[in-house]
Amino acid sequence: MKVPVVCPYCGVGCRLYIERTPSGYRLEYADDIPGIPNENGRLCPKGNAVLDLLSKDRLRKPLKAKEEGKFVEVSWGEAIKEVAERLREIAKDDPRQLMFFGSAKTFNEPNYLIQKLARMLGTNNIDHCARLCHSSTVAGLKAVFGAGAMTNTYRDIEMADVIMIWGHNYAETHPVGFRYVIKAKERGAKVIVVDPRFTRTAWFSDLFLQLYPGTDIALANGIMHVIIKHGLYDREFVEKRTVGFSELKRTVEKYTPERVEEITGVPAELIEEAAVTFARAENAVITWAMGLTQSVHGYDNVRAVATLIAITGHIGRPGNGASPMRGQNNVQGACDLGVLPNVFPGYQAVTDPEKRRFFEEFWGAELSGEVGLTTIEATHEAEKGRVKAYYIMGENPAISEANSKRAIRALRKLEFLVVQDIFPTETARLADIVLPATSMLENEGSLTNTERRVQWSFKALNPPGEARPDWWIVSEIGKAIGFTGSGARGFNYRSPEEILREINACTPQYRGITPERLKENLAGIHWPCPSEDHPGTPLLYTERFLTPDGKAHLASVEHSGPAEIPDKDYPLILTTMRYVGHFHTLTMTGRSELLRKRWREPFLEVHPDDAERFKLKDGEWAVVETRRGRYPVRAKVTKAVKRGVVAIPWHWGANVLTNDAIDPVSKIPDTKACACRVRPVSEAEARKLLDELREMGVVA
């Protein structure tokens, strides 16, 4: 029997089948399901390697630490009892001493449960990895359009005449989604790529705007300057559906292409051409990702880009819109279900007394109206001893947090750390209790891709050892803490379906997305879906925006550089990136032989002139240093990066270098730009340094 599942990696949310054969399991392509995001069942290399998640070193039994990194096996009963008791104890003192991490790598149902658990314990300290990738998108789009999600679908990208890809190596991070760009291009669409690196995505560009990391606002303002000056904006749309145009006009007036060229390094003519091309297009979309969002002014970056979309009227019609691309397969779902410190499921503010009253009644518990901590803030509070316990579901902050050495210090300082995961991660090494979870293929539930498309993934394999589904673990802990009420007032769940029905009842956008409908319709349903007979909403804002007055609120934002700029001691700008064959902190892809042998190790990309200046040789070892750490890596001399910029993939642990300065609104760290220096080192020295970092637990 072929079981339909959803790929456990990126936000495209590709479908595939797992089939049981006499000799084990095999993967089959879902080429017979109409309307799925990966047309004709196509998969990228990660999707092709999903069966390697069955790798031998999966966590099989609950573990309890005797000392750091030394564990003994315990029974589920014992592990749950201990976690419940410790959480209850700490919550009794002050629930704000607890921090919970949900996971963009697991289903909607366990994410719903973990935020419910945090909140019923009395705290809104709940967050997940979206903080490090798209929190600025969520906040920025909400400010301009009223909601934080992608406004359209992959189909709309295929239908566009101009596709602007901003700070997003689309071809490498979402290969199957990139198909829609290629199809548009075949039809004659123009592609504009904005990136500090000449990426594989840039191979497909008609216009390539190579800006310095962290100068996005200046570029967006420069483009808007040209559009307004030549009267190329959509007058009718601006008048009827937006507010704030005159202020915007005043703000961007000083961003002449010449001045913007000085700030961004993008030639003035290219800025003009991009502006005219984008504004004149009948249908146009902008897609973006970490290059735009991971910045101390990520919130403003997103608002500037959203404003550019709004003044050209490229939204609310087929073939148009704003498409932030989510990295993990369920970032959207985890956000939707309230795994964020400021909102309940469905983006209902915890500070809104009415919404709070609803959930108090619904869950039968008194809830906090105080906005909770974000991940980086929790790290800083833990360092000060004010947060005492973390409950981490499917996350690896030891490698993924900016300035990871500091994150490790904070983790070590905790009184109690629970890690629930499928593999022994760097973070799990520091845990007091490790809970073995099932992978996405061994479990079932709903998840929401980049396009707000909710799909059901079925159980295809049996879990190893005593590994248990995330929803089961969280509900057992909830019950053991004493939340034994019936229905929504407790944690007595028998299946993920039951949990999804509870989600339907309290999350307006998901009201009509029932388990029955999802199981019948493998292509899924786009939220908002307000009732069971509603077909779902692929395209947002056709008539009004979700802001209180229904209009787009144009943002006038000024350029400011990254938190750290190059100087005498640290003369280069460091930016981070990813490889197509790897995912996140390597916990999953690093265990696949098929992937590991093709993407063996990280390389530092350095321009030939800088290589000469700093005596780096292609293929030889270098050390990159920032104010936060040192990281040895082999150099790759390439013109893909601009002079003055170096780039490094972050999977292996380059976050020892990155800056944890955060955006004041979205609290996203400045991971994409910091000051650094480089120098050649001997292989022996490099290896020694790597061993030291590994010992510290900050590299994979």
Partner 1 sequence: MSGILIDPGKCIACRACEVACEREHGRSFITVFEFETSAVPLNCRHCERAPCVEACPTGALFRDGDGAVLVDVKKCIGCNMCVLACPFGIPEIAGKIMVKCDLCPDRRAEGKLPLCVQTCPTGALTYEEPSEFSMSRRKAYAERLALRRAENAPGL
In angstroms, give the least distance from the CB of 42 to partner 1. Answer: 5
In the complex, least distance from residue 198 CB atom to partner 1, rounded to whole angstroms: 8
Q: Does residue 47 bind partner 1 (CB under 8 A)?
A: yes
Tell how many helices (H) and how many strands (E) occur in the chain.
26, 28
Closest CA to 283 of 324, 314, 323, 238: 314
Q: Which is nearer to partner 1, 29 or 358 (CB)?
A: 29
10 binds ligand SF4 (CB under 6 A): yes
Q: Note whether 43 binds ligand SF4 by CB under 6 A.
A: yes
Least separation in angstroms between CB 320 and partner 1: 18
Specify the amino acid at residue 308. Answer: L
Residue 111 Cβ, how far from ligand SF4 at the closest point, in Å? 18
Query: Looking at 3, 5, 13, 668, which residue binds ligand SF4 (CB under 6 A)?
Result: 13
Compute the distance between CA of residue 560 and CA of residue 299 in angstroms, rounded to an integer. Answer: 12
Would you give the distance in Å from CA 446 to the centre of its chain?
Answer: 18
Among all chains, which residue has been given the structure tokens 């500070």? Answer: 351
Binding flag, residue 552, partner 1 (CB under 8 A) = no
By a kind-dependent CB cut-off of 5 to 8 A, residue 479 interacts, out of ligand SF4, partner 1, none, with none
CA-to-CA distance for 550 and 501, rounded, in angstroms? 30
Q: Is 175 in the site for ligand SF4 (CB under 6 A)?
A: yes
3-state secondary structure 152-205: CCHHHHHHCCEEEEECCCHHHHCHHHHHHHHHHHHCCCEEEEECCECCCCHHHC
User: Who contacts 118 (Cβ-Cβ below 8 Å, separation ≥6)?
Assistant: 98, 100, 124, 125, 126, 372, 391
114 contributes a contact to ligand SF4 by CB under 6 A: no
**Closest residue to ligand SF4, Cβ-based?**
47
The reply to whether 315 sits near ligand SF4 by the rule CB under 6 A is no
Interaction between residue 638 and partner 1 (CB under 8 A): yes
With beta carbons less than 8 A apart as the criterion, state whether 626 and 657 touch: yes
171 binds, among ligand SF4, partner 1, none (CB under 5 to 8 A by kind): partner 1
Q: Which is nearer to partner 1, 181 or 698 (CB)?
A: 181
Pick from 5, 7, 305, 588 the residue near ligand SF4 by CB under 6 A.
7
What is the CA 667 to chain-centroid distance, rounded?
14
| Burial of 614 from C-beta contacts in 10 A (0-12 / 13-18 / 19+) | middle
Amino acid identity, position 171: A
Considering only CA atoms, which of 451, 466, 606 is closest in space to residue 523? Answer: 451
Q: Does 44 bind ligand SF4 (CB under 6 A)?
A: yes
* 640 contacts partner 1 (rule: CB under 8 A): yes
Partner whose binding site includes residue 49, from partner 1, ligand SF4, none (CB under 5 to 8 Å by kind):
partner 1
Task: State yes or no: residue 281 binds partner 1 (CB under 8 A).
Answer: no
User: Shortest Cβ distance from residue 537 to ligand SF4 (Å)?
Assistant: 22
| Binding flag, residue 639, partner 1 (CB under 8 A) | yes
Only one of the segments 42-50, 151-159, 639-647, 657-665 lies at the binding site for ligand SF4 (rule: CB under 6 A); that segment is 42-50
Question: Which of 46, 116, 607, 642 is in the footprint of ligand SF4 by CB under 6 A?
Answer: 46
| Touching ligand SF4, residues 115-174 (CB under 6 A) | 174
3-state secondary structure of 695: helix
Residue number with CB closer to ligand SF4 (13 or 590): 13
If one asks whether residue 598 binds partner 1 (CB under 8 A), the answer comes out as yes
The contacts of residue 43 (CB under 8 Å, 6+ apart) are 7, 14, 16, 29, 176
Distance of CA 76 to the CA centre of its chain: 31
Q: Residue 366 burial by CB count (10 A; 0-12/13-18/19+): exposed, middle or buried?
A: exposed
For ligand SF4 (CB under 6 A), the number of binding residues is 14
List Cβ neighbours of 508 (8 Å cut-off, separation of 6 or more).
346, 528, 530
**Facing residues of 133 across strands?**
none
CB of 7 to ligand SF4, least distance (A): 3
Residue 25: left (phi > 0), alpha (psi -120 to 50), or beta? beta
For position 61 contacting partner 1 by CB under 8 A, the verdict is no
The tokens of 372 are what?
């909770």
Q: Kindly give, in sequence order, each residue whose CB lies less than 8 Å from that of residue 303, ignoring residues fewer than 6 positions away.
A: 140, 143, 144, 555, 557
Told to check if 527 binds ligand SF4 by CB under 6 A, we report: no
Which partner from the list ligand SF4, partner 1, none does 182 bind, CB cut-off 5 to 8 Å by kind?
Answer: partner 1
Question: Cβ closer to ligand SF4: 13 or 629?
Answer: 13
Distance between CA atoms of 641 and 647, rounded to whole angstroms? 7
Looking at 7, 10, 17, 48, which residue binds partner 1 (CB under 8 A)?
48
Could you tell me the two tokens for 114?
Answer: 């973990």
- Locus of tokens 């899924």: 524
Cβ atoms of 570 and 626 within 8 Å: the answer is yes
Least separation, in Å, of the C-beta of 45 and ligand SF4? 7
Q: Which residue, 36, 108, 38, is CA-closest to 515? A: 108
Q: Bridge-partner residues for 419, per DSSP? A: 392, 434
Among 35, 72, 88, 203, binds partner 1 (CB under 8 A): 203
2 binds partner 1 (CB under 8 A): no
Applying CB under 8 A, does 581 fall inside the site for partner 1?
yes
Question: 522 or 580, CB closer to partner 1?
Answer: 580
Applying CB under 8 A, does 96 fall inside the site for partner 1? no
Where does this chain touch partner 1 (CB under 8 A) — which range of 95-103, 178-186, 189-197, 361-369? Answer: 178-186
| Residue 154: both structure tokens together | 């992959």
14 is a site residue for ligand SF4 (CB under 6 A): yes
Q: How near is the Cβ of 179 to partner 1 at its closest, in Å?
A: 5
Stretch near partner 1 under the rule CB under 8 A, chosen from 186-194, 470-478, 661-669, 672-680:
186-194
Cα separation, 489 vs 461, in Å, equals 32
The item of ligand SF4, partner 1, none sharing an interface with residue 536, based on CB under 5 to 8 Å by kind, is none
Out of 200, 317, 412, 501, the only residue in the binding site for partner 1 (CB under 8 A) is: 200
Question: Among 15, 42, 96, 303, which residue sits at the site for partner 1 (rule: CB under 8 A)?
Answer: 42
Report what 279 binds from partner 1, ligand SF4, none; CB cut-off 5-8 Å by kind.
Answer: none
* Contact status: 558 vs partner 1 (CB under 8 A): no
8 Å CB contact between 326 and 449: yes
Residues in touch with ligand SF4 (CB under 6 A): 7, 9-10, 12-14, 38, 43-44, 46-47, 174-176
Residues in touch with partner 1 (CB under 8 A): 27, 29, 31, 38, 40-45, 47-49, 51, 171-172, 175-176, 178-179, 182-183, 186-188, 198, 200, 203, 580-581, 594-595, 598, 638-640
